[in-house]
């Protein structure tokens, strides 16, 4: 199975970031595929909505991103989920993919969500209609672009029926969209039914249909994905967890750890800022406690102070912008992270270069580095799992319980 990483244009990290001075003297940015060799991914997914927000100077997407591997393009359906129709014309989108030199182009789809349950049949039909329009033009072109037809649904039968319709129309590469928020058991049923109906069609027509799974990278689904013939999948979960998850921000061997939040006083927002204002906490006190927390955690890194001492400093600072009960809960998470010292056990170049700073939840440069590390950890974990996979379907239970060596 091939893993594609959704990437936000033009996200990256600055190679000259100094974690001690917290300065970025140059604007030179690199991305995850520039850091790790080989990159911890098989391709990247870039949305049209993001490319058009800041068009590259060079029309070639590979040159603009400095990436030689497979680049898949889609329209970013979540960005127009509340619209009556997608804002992109199918034929214009096909031309967009060709203009920028995408390797794979995703047909224009419209997500089906509970909020618009009364529109589910319409959205599914519109998604299929757009796919067929693009296919009719694409099949008569001399192009290197691979067309990926998306289907949307609301249960196993609706996904299977739509997938079969595109397969019979001529698509040999089909994507299942809109499953990100679905329970794992529901996804398993969908994959099983889609696989069964496409396998029957492939045997009859003598043409193998490949499947892409949008937004799904759950380990609990790996075995089902494998034996139902999923060819590729994408997910930004491991990247985004670095800054979006409440407690699961850093992964080592797929085990999550909570990042240590030491925000700069000027970066306090929302409830944290309101808590500070309501308790009339001075800026001077904030700065003093912030500096103490940073000094103590760096001393802990050098094993110059005890765990209790660094936790005390972290609690003092955390408590000035967090209610007592939440402070106690997060300090318990910090204790687990600091006890394990996972950044010292990782062999990735980012962890080796900035050490404990990769655990700090503080500023884009650290948070994005932690996200890159998480992708590296996920990809290595997934590939080890895949190497240990037992191909027989009857061994699915054993596959779900595979222990990595």
Express each pLDDT in 72-130 by its tens digit.
999 999 999 999 999 999 999 999 999 999 999 999 999 999 999 999 999 999 999 99
Tokens found for residue 222: 């790996």
Q: Are 68 and 62 in contact (CB under 8 A)?
A: yes
Rg of the chain on CA atoms, in Å: 24
Does 254 score more than 50 pLDDT? Answer: yes
Whole domain around residue 128: which residue ranges? 2-235
CA nearest neighbour of 25 among 33, 34, 14: 14
Q: What is the DSSP string of 72-109?
A: EEE--GGGGTTSSS-SS-HHHHHHHHHHHT-SEEEPP-
Average pLDDT score, the chain: 93
Any domain includes 398:
no
196 plus 286 within the same structural domain: no
Any domain includes 397:
no
- The domain tally of the chain equals 2
211 plus 323 within the same structural domain: no
Q: At what angle do helices 156-169 and 120-138 cross, to 10 degrees?
A: 20
217 plus 252 within the same structural domain: no
The residues with which 3 forms a beta bridge, in sequence order, are: 233
Average pLDDT over residues 217-222: 95
Q: Are 103 and 146 in contact (CB under 8 A)?
A: yes
Q: Where a domain ends, among 207, 235, 263? A: 235
196 plus 327 within the same structural domain: no
Question: Would strands 360-361 and 70-74 be described as parallel, antiparallel, or unpaired?
Answer: unpaired
85 plus 159 within the same structural domain: yes
253 plus 279 within the same structural domain: yes
Rounded Cα distance, 176 and 13, in Å: 32
Q: Are 253 and 380 in contact (CB under 8 A)?
A: no
The CATH number assigned to the domain holding 107 equals: 3.20.20.105
pLDDT reported for residue 397: 52
pTM: 0.93
Distance of CA 93 to the CA centre of its chain: 24
Any domain includes 390:
no
Any domain includes 221:
yes
- Percent of the chain, pLDDT > 70? 96
231 plus 267 within the same structural domain: no
227 plus 90 within the same structural domain: yes
Any domain includes 127:
yes
262 plus 222 within the same structural domain: no
Tokens found for residue 320: 């000035």
Condensed to tens digits (0 to 9), the pLDDT of residues 29-66 reads 899 999 999 999 999 999 999 998 888 877 899 999 99
What 3-state DSSP class applies to 360? strand
79 plus 217 within the same structural domain: yes
Does 395 score more than 60 pLDDT? Answer: no
134 plus 225 within the same structural domain: yes
256 plus 114 within the same structural domain: no
Q: Where a domain ends, among 189, 208, 235? A: 235
Any domain includes 21:
yes
Any domain includes 241:
no
The residues with which 150 forms a beta bridge, in sequence order, are: 175
């Amino acid at each position: 199975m091939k893993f594609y990483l959704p990437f936000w244009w033009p996200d990256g990290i600055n190679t000259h970031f100094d974690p001690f001075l917290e300065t970025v003297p140059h604007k030179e940015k690199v991305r995850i595929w520039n850091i790790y060799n080989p990159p911890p991914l098989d391709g990247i997914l870039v949305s049209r909505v993001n490319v058009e927000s800041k068009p590259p100077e060079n029309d070639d997407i590979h040159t603009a991103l400095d990436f030689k591997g497979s680049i898949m393009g889609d329209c970013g359906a979540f960005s127009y989920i509340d619209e009556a129709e997608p804002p992109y014309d199918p034929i214009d989108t096909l031309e967009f993919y060709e203009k920028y030199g995408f390797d794979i182009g995703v047909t224009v789809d419209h997500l089906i969500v509970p909020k618009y349950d009364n529109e589910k049949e319409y959205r599914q039909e519109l998604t299929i209609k757009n796919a067929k329009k693009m296919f009719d033009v694409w099949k008569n072109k001399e192009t290197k672009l691979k067309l990926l037809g998306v289907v949307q649904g609301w249960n196993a039968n609706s996904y299977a029926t739509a997938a079969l319709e595109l397969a019979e129309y001529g698509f040999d590469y089909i994507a299942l969209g809109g499953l990100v928020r679905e329970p794992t058991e529901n996804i398993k049923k969908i994959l099983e039914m889609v696989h069964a109906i496409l396998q029957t069609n492939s045997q009859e027509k003598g043409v193998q249909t490949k499947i892409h799974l949008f937004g799904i990278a759950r380990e609990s689904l790996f075995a089902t994905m494998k034996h139902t013939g999923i060819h590729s999948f994408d997910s930004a979960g491991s990247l985004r967890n670095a800054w979006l998850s409440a407690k699961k921000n850093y992964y080592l061997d797929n085990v999550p750890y909570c990042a240590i939040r030491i925000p700069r006083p000027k970066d306090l927002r929302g409830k944290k800022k309101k808590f500070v204002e309501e308790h009339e906490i001075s800026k001077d006190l904030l700065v003093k406690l912030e500096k103490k927390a940073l000094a103590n955690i760096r001393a802990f890194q050098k094993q110059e102070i005890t765990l209790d001492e660094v936790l005390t400093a972290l609690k003092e600072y955390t408590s000035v912008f967090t209610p007592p009960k939440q402070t106690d809960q997060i300090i318990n998470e910090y204790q687990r992270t600091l006890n394990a010292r996972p950044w010292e056990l990782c062999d990735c170049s980012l962890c080796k270069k900035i050490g404990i700073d990769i655990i700090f939840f503080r500023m884009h440069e650290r948070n994005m580095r932690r996200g890159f590390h998480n992708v590296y950890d996920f990809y290595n974990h997934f590939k080890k799992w895949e190497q240990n996979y037992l191909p027989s379907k009857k061994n699915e239970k054993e596959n779900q319980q595979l222990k990595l060596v």
